[in-house]
Each structure stands twice: as C-alpha cells, then as structure tokens.
C-alpha cells in the first residue's frame, strides 16, 4: 500500500466523532464544507459525504457517499470517486462506499438531510448565486416518497401536473400543495413536512399555506388563486413516465470476478465461500451493483474496481438510478448478504482486527490520524425502561387444551418443560389500564403446548380489543422487562403438564421435575431487578462458580452457598429465593472454602469448578424495516435514521434492536393483516438468523399504534402529541403541523357513543360562542392544556370536539376556518356550516351502513383546505382533540420529549470531576438525573465528542448509554 503516502491532508481527523462530514471537490481537491453549508448541494459540483455511526459494542461504522451534480464534469466526478477510496484508507479501509447521482440518490444518503435536499444551480467553476441576488421566481416541484422525499423541480406549467403525484408550488407569498386525485396519502403527508421546510428556509417562517385538491374548483378560494397562476383552470393530462423516472428492476444476482480491469462471470450457486480475501468481485442485482473488496487488496486495486463497476453499468445502458455500492470484506451490508442463501459467521472478525491494525500502523508512519482502528471496549448492557410495578399479575400454565391459573404463591415459578401465559395489568402514569401479555416457552416444552399457548394468548389479546403489548418469549432469552415482573423468577427442571409427562414417558427418560423434597441446586447470578432470574442446574459440584451464589436443597435442609467473588445483592437474592421455594425454612450458610461434608454429599462429593464470570452482554443496535413479499419471497428494506414520523398508521414495521424484535402495527392497517403480525415477525427472524446471526429464540413483540410501551418508545425521540393524533397519515400531519385539519375518521369504533359525543361537541360549541357559560366545562381542558387563551383557544376546542363527534367513514369533511381574525358572525357561520356538513354525513351513513374502504387516498373534501396564517398552537389543538375524543377517560401518559436545550436552568457549571457519579468532590444542589447539563460547552464537547444540541437530539436510550460510559448517569 505504498500509495498511502498520497493520502490527502484534507481528510486528517475524519471520522473522529458520530455525525456527518462533507467535502466539496474544488480544483480537483477535497475542501471541507463548513457546517453552515451542510445540506446545500450545487448542480455543478461533486461532493464527498462521510457518515459516522456507532454500531454494536460502540465501534464506529462508516458510510462514504460521493455525490455527482448533473452539471459537473467527468473529471470532477472521477476525482470524487478516487478521493473516496483515499478517505476510506484513512478510516482503516472498512467503509461502505456509495455513488450518488443527482436525482437518483439512495434512501440512506437522503436520510442524512431530512426532510429533503433541493440542489441549487451553479457551482465552484461558474460561481454561486446568493439568494439575495436572485429575484424570487415561482417554482413547481414534484414530491415523491413516503418516508424519504425526492424533490424534483419541473417546468412551471399546467402540463407538468398530473393526477397521480403530489406537487408543491412555491410562490413569494404562499406555498400551495396540489394533491393529485390518485396520489398516495403518505406522500401527501410527507409533502407537508417539505412545505414547513420551505417556509422556514426561504420565507423566514412567514407565508400562507394552502392545500389544493385535484378536481375541486372554487373560484373564490385558494383553488381559484392556484389555477389563475397557471392561466386558468383546465383539465390536466395523464402522467408521462420520463427516462429519468424508470426504476430498474431487481434481478437474481449474477456473480463476476474482477481481474486486471476486466469482469468475468462466475457460474454456479452464489456462496460466501467464493469470496477470496485477495480479490475483488462484482455482484449485479439489477437495481444495485455491488463491488466486494477482499481485505488484503491494495489501494490501487480498490480504485480500479470502482472504475470497472462504473464502466460495467454504463456499457449496458442501465437506468441512471442504478446504484453502485462498494463493500470491504467483513463489513458487508444486509442488502448485500440477502443475495446469498445464507451468510455463515466465520472467523473473519479476528482477521479484520489484524488487518485494521496493519493499516493503522502504516498510516501512523505517514502521520495520518486514524480513528476506531483498534478493537473497541465492550459496552455494558443497557437496560431499557421497565414497566411500572404495583399492577395486577396473572399467570396460567398450559395443560392440554386448557390453561390453569397459578396460585399467587407460585407466580414466579417456571418449569422448563411447560408453557405459560403471563398477563400484567399496569398503569402508565395517569393513563387508563395497559396490558403486557406474553407467552413463555420452556426449552423442553412440547410443540403442542407451545401452539396452544399461542392460540389462547391470541384469544385473550382479542378479548382485550387488541390493546395489549403481546410477546413471545423463550427460556434463556427473557428480556429485562419480563424478568422484572417477578420478584423473584425461578426456572426449575422438568414440567407438570400432561403433554410433557407423556412425552418423557414415551421416550423412556427420567423425570427430573423439581420437587420440594428432592436434591436441587439453584444458581443465583442476578444483581438487579431486571436480571434476577435464577435457574436450577445439575446438582453436581462442577456447576458451582466463585462469582455467584447457589441454593442447595437436600430433603428438608437448604444451604445458601456464597462464592468468594459474589456480590451482596446476590446474597440477598439467594435468601429471598430460598424463602420463596420453602417459606419459613431455616437456612444453613456455606461460604466458599468452609463447606462441611453435609454440603458436598448431595452433590456427589467435592470437585473443581470455575471462577470465571459469565458475561451475558446484550448489545442493542436498533434498525427499523419495512417489508414486502416479492414473488413469494419475504424481503425487507431498512428505514435509515428512523424517527417516530416513520411509523405510518397505514403500515406494519419491524424494529430489530438485536436484543428483541418488535412488529409495530398501525391503526389503519387492514384487520386481516393485523392478525399476521407474529407470522411476519417470525419470517423476519428466520431471515435475520441466516444472514445476520440473530438468535432464532429472540423475544418477539406485537405492538399496536397508540399502545406503545416504554421499552419500545425508548428507541425514538417520542412525542406524545404525535402518538395521540387521529386519522390517516395526511390528516395527522395537517393537525400536528398546523393545528387544524380535515375531519378525522375513526375507522375502529364506527359511530359508537354518538349521543354522548354530540352532547360534548354542542357543549364545546356553546362555550366557544358564550364564554361566560362555558367556565365549568373549560376547567378540565385548561387543566390539561395549561392556560386559557380566550376565543382563540375555545374555537380550537370546539373544532376538536366537532371532529371527534361527527366525522364518519363516508369521508365528508368540514372546511377549515380561514383565519383567526374572523369576526364573531363568520365564526358562528363556519360552525353552523361544519355542524350541517357532519350531520348530513351522519344521516347519509345511516342509510348506507357499509363503511367506505380507504386504502389509497383520502376522499375528496367539500372545499379545498386552506391553512391560515395565524393558527392555534399545535399542542393546544391536538390535546383539545384528544380530550374531547377520550370523552372523560383518563388522559394518555406524558412521554419524554427531547429538550431543545441541555443547559442547566441556573446557568451554573461544574467541572467534569465534580459531576461524576463517583466523584471525590461532588457538586451539590444539582439535578442528579441531568449531571451533563452542568458541564461547560467546551468540556461537554470534549467529554461527549458532540455539542449539547446534537446530544439532545439523540434518543433517550442513546443519551443514557453515553452518560453511563462517562460516569454521568
């Protein structure tokens, strides 16, 4: 690798911290881009983007993208590709490299710049135009994408519009969203985020917004204004697919070797064993072409392999959107590995460490700083939030086709030959009852009992109206939130079910089922409420361990044995378990090295045993996926840099944290699909087990929208207002962004409770028009929302109540109010019109009881919806809607949202040494849960490697993990 001497100094220190770094190619050299320019891409330039993330165990992972503007030169593009390889060498030769063509960027690249990127004209060579130098011209964009938005500017003409897409027209005083009649609900919702982005970035947050619905013309509304800008209303044409819009099809993978700049097809079945570590290969999957690089190849070979791939794609006249991705051995992506029937984990990891060490040593000689080259320090287990205690606990053991309830004194005892159903009813904050429903499968249980447990648990789930978090848990894979339910949890040998007894009798096996008078050795290894599971082990001396405690039961005698390296918590738990198994029994204590013969005799005599601590590390690495069935094959697609906004109510998604798998089910999902959630999760686990080494017995949960538990929401920056918003994706987004919106459809409950809802709505209306008479009814709302803002606020409450009371599945919607400065007369007229509209819809629904399906786009509005300039606060409007819809029920729990500022309230700062949890000179008068807030900005950057603002944007579980690493938790 002698060519490493040419590594560019512009890359010095790259990849030192989590985040995004960008270089622009200027005069064929990479120049770092200031953070203020991050997200700006000029069509005449090429850029290199480095994204550094933290993977399992804390090791840094790198993705390098080189972005090629459509007006850039071929030489600039070539420079970007070559410099990308050099940057990879600085990072230890283990980054995944991606080629990004303007207009055809990958989802992963666009996820760094949410909600979208809008390339600007110009570049280094031709000069940059500043916004103030340009006269504002209306721009028309087509907006595509449900989660990742692709914006494309199209000619400002009626001929650009069609019925299938969503368009944004940005004018100086108003931004219009045009929803094609056949456009996707989720794309409509995402376009609203883009409008907010445009409003803040190019209009200083001050401009009107209007939504125009295809086919609805009202000359006196925004619809009329919109069509005037296009020269008047006229029919629009059908969508025409351009060459740039052709999406390449995924094809079965073809395998090629790359030798001396030539590709040669390799026949036979695609197998990992074909990949040799001193060669380069090309895997052609149609829509994406992968270049695989062996770990001992030279830098020049790697550069040549990328050029070969580009020539390969261009020679076949592939669509521009064909992606090229380069991977290094040992750092293959899931999308690459999924082309192989299986991806067995081999002994590649140590070799990777050796390879990185060699590269690090070589680069150190060249004076180049390298980050993350040595093996990272393992991260201790991160414990997710646990369910609140004090609730009702019920446990049933499966016996044949029935479930037998356990008496209270036996709750916590599990036999490895049995299956159980556990139902925990608890209260989360001041919310109504929540449920945690799990099936537990002993490792020796029979298949019939497992199936019966699943069937009976599903029946219980349906009887509770689909509200519980439902889990499937295998012995030895119990998650912390399950273990914490039992104080203590003891897993015993054998089983009590008739099916298990028959099975061992048929096989002629000895029944080892635990009995209160038998010889039994029980291991105590837990140290905290979330891991205090105890397990019966073989009653022999070799089962002992100096780092743990044990209970030895022999007839009527019980010994507690304390290893020399055990903890005080283990000793306490041992006494608790002994009392649980045999209440009131007198304990005999045996400390390691002082045991009597009466202790060794039941174990068959004294033998040597281990003193090594068993470290069961659980490293969480969350990834979110959508899924599809393509020609009968189950496939997933990752949602990169995911957030709560990606949980779309019409979808089912899979969250894999590497410690558990969640299947999240949106409220608007078809009822038949909802029933398949566990089957979908199982298919994912089978696939991930073959290519990622995921345990096939990993805990699996089904979580329904609106019932997300704390151990799920911890992987998001969870916003309670988003969780309680009603309607489809578009309706939710309108309500959240602007505080008002289309009427919300309640697909799940139909028109139940109509009389009560109507009374609530009329009371809210009366309050809006006669403030003095509404004091009592407003009191609860003021308590929930925190303040009283007069008519402004009352009108929001009245509209929220109307939405909840009168929306119907027929989809007729009331028009939004035009402005907050409208007079009392117009307010009353608007309310009467809304009331009339919804009552008409209700009457129509009573004639036709069959609901109207809504699976592609929302029904047309009565009038185009306008978003007024001054609207009630989002929080107020949404909370008001929630209060009226709950109709007197307890409100939802308040989830933690990410603070905008991480400074101490008093502005007081302390040194890092004073703030540490184990400080010799601790700071006083501080919030111990926010120790990091009292660091100075400079010391915070040094300790955490990021600014306070960047830290605040991390999900809570990541913030807690970072704080634990530096003793600030």
User: 121 is written with which tokens?
Assistant: 């004209």
**pLDDT tens per residue across span 128-172:** 555 445 567 899 999 999 999 999 999 999 999 999 999 999 999
**pLDDT tens per residue across span 83-124:** 999 999 899 888 999 999 999 999 999 999 999 999 988 887
Indicate if the alpha-carbon torsion angle 845, 848, 853, 854 is positive or negative. Answer: negative
Q: What is the pLDDT of residue 314?
A: 87
Report the chain's terminal Cα–Cα distance, integer Å.
44
Give 391's DSSP letter. S
Q: How confident is the model at residue 944 (pLDDT cuts 50, 70, 90)?
A: confident
**pLDDT tens per residue across span 467-518:** 899 999 999 999 999 999 998 899 999 999 999 999 999 999 999 999 988 9
Q: Over 70: is that where the pLDDT of 895 sits?
A: no
Quick one: 240 exposed, middle or buried, by C-beta within 10 A (0-12, 13-18, 19+)?
Answer: exposed
Q: Count CA within 13 A, CB hemisphere, residue 941.
A: 4
Q: What is the pLDDT of residue 269?
A: 84
Q: What distance in Å separates the CA atoms of residue 461 and residue 663, rounded to the nearest whole number?
A: 15
More confident residue, 756 or 706: 706
- How big is the chain, counted in residues? 969
Q: What is the pLDDT of residue 56?
A: 74
Q: Give me the percent of the chain exceeding a pLDDT of 70.
A: 75
Strands laid side by side in the 402-405 sheet: 402-405, 392-399, 419-427, 433-441, 469-474, 700-704, 661-665, 652-656, 623-630, 633-639
Q: What is the pLDDT of residue 306?
A: 86
Tell me the CA distances in angstroms from 528 to 91, 570, 696, 711, one per residue in order.
39, 9, 26, 17
> 688-704: buried (b, 16+ CB within 10 Å) or exposed (e) per residue?
bebbeebeebbbbbbbb
Rounded CA Rg of the chain = 32
Q: Over 80: is that where the pLDDT of 429 sits?
A: no
Best CA proximity match to 344, nearest among 275, 288, 292, 265: 275
Q: What distance in Å separates the CA atoms of residue 48 and residue 31, rounded to the nearest whole number?
A: 9
Q: Over 50: is that where the pLDDT of 871 sits?
A: no
User: 915 is written with which tokens?
Assistant: 């703030």
Mean pLDDT of 201-212: 90
The residue assigned the tokens 């699909």 is: 673
Residues 6+ apart with CB under 8 A from 422: 393, 394, 395, 436, 437, 438, 439, 440, 482, 485
The answer to whether 830 and 863 are in contact (CB under 8 A) is no
Q: What distance in Å separates the CA atoms of residue 946 and residue 935, rounded to the nearest whole number?
A: 13
* DSSP conformation letters of 54-76: E-GGG-EEEEEEEEE-TTS-HHH
- Runs of H (alpha helix) within 412-464: 447-463
Tell me the CA distances in angstroms from 704 to 468, 654, 708, one per residue in order.
8, 12, 7
Mean pLDDT of 914-927: 84
Beta-carbon count within 10 A of 250 CB: 13
Give 239's DSSP letter. -
User: 399 is written with which tokens?
Assistant: 């016996």
**pLDDT tens per residue across span 506-549:** 999 999 999 988 999 999 987 788 888 899 999 999 999 999 99
User: 284 — phi, psi (to 5°)?
Assistant: -95, 115
Residues 6+ apart with CB under 8 A from 916: 922, 931, 966, 967, 968
Q: What is the pLDDT of residue 157?
A: 93
Q: How confident is the model at residue 753 (pLDDT cuts 50, 70, 90)?
A: very low
Q: What is the pLDDT of residue 906?
A: 60
Residues 6+ apart with CB under 8 A from 219: none
The residue assigned the tokens 């051995």 is: 329
Q: Give me the percent of the chain exceeding a pLDDT of 90.
A: 47
Quick one: 438 exposed, middle or buried, by C-beta within 10 A (0-12, 13-18, 19+)?
Answer: buried
> 3-class secondary structure for 890-914?
CCCCCCCCCCCCCCCCCCCCCCHHH
Residues 6+ apart with CB under 8 A from 752: none
Beta-carbon count within 10 A of 584 CB: 5
**pLDDT tens per residue across span 384-410:** 688 876 778 999 999 999 999 999 999
Best CA proximity match to 515, nearest among 559, 553, 558: 553
Q: What integer best gives the mean pLDDT of the chain?
A: 79
**What is the model's pTM?**
0.73
């Amino acid at each position: 690798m002698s060519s490493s001497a040419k590594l560019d100094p512009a890359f010095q220190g790259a990849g030192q911290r989590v985040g995004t770094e960008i270089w622009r190619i200027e005069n064929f050299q990479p120049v770092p881009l200031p953070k203020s320019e991050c997200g700006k891409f000029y069509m005449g330039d090429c850029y290199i983007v480095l994204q550094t993330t933290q993977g399992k165990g804390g090791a840094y992972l790198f993705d390098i993208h080189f972005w090629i503007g459509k007006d850039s030169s071929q030489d600039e593009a070539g420079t970007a590709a070559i410099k990308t390889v050099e940057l990879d060498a600085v990072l230890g030769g283990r980054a995944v490299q991606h080629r990004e063509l303007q207009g055809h960027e990958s989802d992963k690249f666009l996820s760094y710049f949410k909600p979208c990127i809008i390339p600007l004209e110009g570049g280094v060579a031709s000069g940059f135009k500043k916004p103030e130098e340009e006269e504002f011209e209306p721009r028309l964009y087509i907006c595509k994408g449900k989660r990742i938005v692709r914006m494309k500017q199209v000619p400002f003409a009626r001929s650009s519009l069609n019925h299938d897409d969503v368009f944004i027209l940005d004018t100086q005083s108003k931004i219009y969203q045009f929803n094609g009649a056949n456009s996707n609900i989720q794309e409509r919702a995402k376009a609203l985020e883009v409008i907010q982005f445009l409003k803040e970035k190019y209009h200083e947050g001050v401009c009107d917004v209007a939504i125009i619905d295809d086919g609805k013309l009202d000359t006196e509304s925004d619809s009329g204004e919109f069509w005037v800008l296009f020269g008047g209303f006229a029919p629009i044409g059908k969508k025409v697919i351009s060459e740039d819009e052709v999406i390449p099809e995924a094809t079965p993978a073809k395998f090629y070797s790359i030798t001396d700049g030539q590709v040669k097809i390799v026949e036979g079945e695609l197998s990992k064993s074909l990949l040799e570590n001193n060669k380069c290969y090309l895997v052609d999957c149609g829509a994406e072409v992968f270049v695989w690089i062996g770990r001992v190849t030279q830098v020049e070979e790697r550069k040549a392999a990328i050029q070969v791939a580009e020539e390969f794609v261009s020679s076949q006249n592939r669509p521009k959107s064909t992606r090229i991705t380069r991977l290094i051995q040992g750092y293959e992506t899931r999308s690459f590995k999924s082309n192989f029937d299986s991806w067995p984990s081999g002994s590649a990891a140590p070799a990777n460490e050796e390879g990185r060490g060699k590269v690090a040593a070589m680069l150190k000689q060249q004076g180049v700083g390298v980050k993350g080259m040595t093996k990272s320090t393992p991260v201790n287990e991160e414990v997710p939030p646990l369910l609140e205690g004090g609730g009702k606990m019920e446990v049933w053991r499966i016996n044949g086709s029935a479930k037998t309830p356990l008496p209270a004194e036996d709750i916590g005892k599990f036999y490895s030959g049995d299956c159980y159903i556990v139902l925990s009813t608890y209260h989360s904050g001041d919310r109504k009852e929540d449920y945690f429903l799990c099936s537990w499968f002993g490792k020796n249980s029979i298949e019939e009992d497992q199936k019966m447990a699943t069937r009976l648990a599903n029946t219980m789930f349906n009887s509770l109206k689909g509200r519980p978090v439902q889990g499937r848990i295998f012995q030895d894979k119990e998650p912390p939130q399950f273990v914490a339910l039992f104080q203590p949890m003891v897993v015993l040998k054998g089983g009590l079910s008739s099916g298990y007894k028959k099975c061992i009798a048929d096989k002629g096996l000895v029944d080892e089922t635990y009995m209160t008078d038998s010889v039994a050795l029980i291991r105590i290894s837990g140290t905290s409420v979330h891991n205090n599971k105890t397990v019966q082990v073989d009653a022999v001396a070799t089962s002992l361990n100096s780092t743990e405690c044990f209970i030895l039961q022999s007839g009527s005698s019980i010994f507690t044995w304390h290893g020399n390296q055990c903890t005080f918590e283990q000793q306490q738990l041992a006494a608790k378990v002994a009392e649980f198994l045999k209440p009131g029994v007198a304990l005999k204590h045996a400390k390691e090295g002082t045991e009597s013969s009466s202790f060794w005799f039941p174990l068959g005599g004294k033998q040597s045993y281990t003193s090594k601590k068993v470290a069961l590390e659980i490293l969480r690495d969350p990834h979110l996926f959508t899924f599809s069935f393509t020609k009968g094959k189950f496939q997933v697609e990752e949602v990169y840099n995911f957030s709560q906004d990606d949980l779309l109510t019409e979808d089912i998604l899979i969250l894999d944290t590497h410690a558990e798998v969640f299947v999240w089910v949106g409220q608007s999902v078809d009822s038949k699909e909802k029933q398949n959630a566990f089957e979908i999760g199982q298919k994912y686990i089978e696939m991930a087990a073959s290519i990622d080494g995921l345990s096939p017995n990993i805990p699996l949960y089904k979580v329904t929208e609106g019932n997300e538990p704390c151990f799920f929401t911890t992987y998001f920056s969870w916003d309670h207002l988003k969780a309680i918003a009603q309607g489809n994706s578009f309706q939710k987004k309108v309500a959240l962004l602007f505080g008002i919106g289309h009427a919300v459809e309640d697909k799940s409950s139909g028109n139940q409770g109509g009389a009560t809802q109507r009374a609530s709505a009329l009371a809210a209306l009366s309050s809006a028009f006669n403030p003095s008479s509404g004091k009592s009814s407003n009191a609860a709302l003021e308590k929930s929302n925190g303040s009283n803002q007069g008519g402004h606020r009352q009108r929001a409450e009245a509209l929220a109540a109307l939405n909840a009371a009168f929306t119907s599945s027929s989809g007729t919607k009331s028009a939004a109010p035009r402005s907050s400065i409208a007079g009392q007369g117009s307010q009353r007229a608007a309310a009467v019109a809304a009331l009339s509209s919804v009552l008409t819809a209700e009457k129509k629904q009573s004639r036709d009881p069959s609901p109207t399906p809504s699976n592609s786009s929302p029904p047309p509005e009565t009038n185009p919806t306008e978003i007024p300039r001054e609207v009630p606060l989002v929080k107020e409007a949404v909370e008001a809607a929630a209060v009226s819809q709950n109709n007197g029920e307890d409100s939802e729990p308040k989830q933690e949202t990410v603070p905008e500022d991480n400074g101490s309230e008093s502005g007081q700062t302390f040194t890092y040494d004073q703030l540490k949890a184990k400080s010799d000179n601790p700071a006083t008068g501080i919030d111990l849960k926010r120790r990091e807030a009292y660091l100075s900005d400079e010391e915070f950057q040094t300790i955490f490697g990021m600014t306070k603002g960047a830290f605040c944007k991390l999900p809570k579980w990541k913030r807690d993990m970072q704080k634990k690493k530096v003793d600030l938790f």
